[in-house]
Structure 1
Amino acid sequence: MSVSMGKVFPKLKPSTNDDDSSSSFVFRPDLNIRLICPNCKNPRPKIIEEYANGDLVCGDCGLVLGDHMIDTRPEWRSFQTDDGEKDVSRVGAAADPLLQGAALETTISSKGRGELAKTHFKATVDKNTVNLKHSLHEIETMCTSMDLSQEVIDTTKQLYKRTVEEKIVRGKIKIAFYAACIYIACRINKVARSFKEICASTQVSKKHLARAVKNLVATFELNMGLMTSEDLMTRFCNRLGLTPDVERICSKISQRIEELGFLTGRTQNTVAAATIHFVTNSLNISILIENIALVSGMAVPSIKSVSKMIYAEKTKLADLIGDQGEKADVVYSNVE
Structure 2
Amino acid sequence: MSESPAHNGVRERTQDEQELGEETTERQDVCPECGGDVRTDSEHGETVCRDCGLVIEEDSIDRGPEWRAFDSAERDQKSRVGAPTTNMMHDKGLSTNIGWQNKDAYGRSLSSEQRQKMQRLRTWNERFRTRDSKERNLKQALGEIDRMASALGLPQNVRETASVIYRRALDENLLPGRSIEGVATSALYAAARMAGSPRSLDEMAVVSRVEKMELTRTYRYVVRELNLEVQPADPEQYLPRFVSDLDLSEETERRARELIVRARDAGLLSGKSPVGLAAAAVYAGALLTNEKVTQSEVGNVANVSEVTIRNRYKELLEAEDVPA
Structure 2 length-normalised TM: 0.61
2:271 aligned residue:
265
Give the SS at the match of 2:116. Answer: coil
5+ long unaligned stretches in structure 1: 1-90, 319-324
1:134 aligned residue:
140
- String of CA shifts for 1:59-112, please: whole Å, max 9, x gaps: xxxxxxxxxxxxxxxxxxxxxxxxxxxxxxxx8888766534898779798931
State the alpha-carbon separation in 1 of the partners of residues 121 and 288 from structure 2. 72
- Residue 323 of structure 2 is aligned to residue 317 of structure 1: no
1:249 aligned residue:
255
State the alpha-carbon separation in 2 of the partners of residues 160 and 191 from structure 1. 18
Opposite residue 159 of structure 1, the aligned amino acid is: I
Shift of 1:236: 0.9
CA contact (8 A) 2:158 2:192 kept: yes
* Of 85, 90, 103, the match for 1:99: 90
- Residue 206 of structure 2 is aligned to residue 200 of structure 1: yes
2:44 aligned residue:
none
2:106 aligned residue:
none
CA contact (8 A) 1:108 1:120 kept: no
Opposite residue 112 of structure 1, the aligned amino acid is: Q
- Residue 298 of structure 2 is aligned to residue 295 of structure 1: no
Structure having greater relative contact order (Cα 8 Å, sep ≥ 6): 2
- String of CA shifts for 1:113-150, please: whole Å, max 9, x gaps: 34566467557741321331222122111101111111
CA RMSD of aligned residues (A): 3.0
Using the TM superposition, name which of 155-164 and 115-124 deviates more.
115-124
- Residue 174 of structure 2 is aligned to residue 168 of structure 1: yes
| Structure (1 or 2) with the greater helix fraction | 2
- String of CA shifts for 1:17-74, please: whole Å, max 9, x gaps: xxxxxxxxxxxxxxxxxxxxxxxxxxxxxxxxxxxxxxxxxxxxxxxxxxxxxxxxxx
- Residue 201 of structure 2 is aligned to residue 226 of structure 1: no
Alpha carbons of 1:286 and 1:166: their partners in 2 closer, same or farther (altered >3 Å)?
Answer: same
2:163 aligned residue:
157
State the alpha-carbon separation in 2 of the partners of residues 291 and 106 from structure 1. 47
CA contact (8 A) 2:236 2:257 kept: yes
State the alpha-carbon separation in 2 of the partners of residues 306 and 131 from structure 1. 43
| Structure (1 or 2) with the greater strand fraction | 1
State the alpha-carbon separation in 2 of the partners of residues 120 and 288 from structure 1. 56
1:53 aligned residue:
none
Q: How many residues align?
A: 228
Shift of 1:175: 1.2
Shift of 1:221: 1.0
State the alpha-carbon separation in 1 of the partners of residues 250 and 144 from structure 2. 36
CA contact (8 A) 2:251 2:289 kept: no
- String of CA shifts for 1:170-211, please: whole Å, max 9, x gaps: 231221111111111112211122222222222433321221
Structure 1 length-normalised TM: 0.59
**Larger Rg: 1 or 2?**
1
- Superposed, which structure 2 residues align to 1:1-336 within 5 Å? 99-100=90-91, 111-113=115-117, 114=119, 118=123, 122=127, 125-128=130-133, 129-262=135-268, 264-311=270-317, 313=318, 316-318=319-321, 325=322
CA contact (8 A) 2:162 2:187 kept: yes
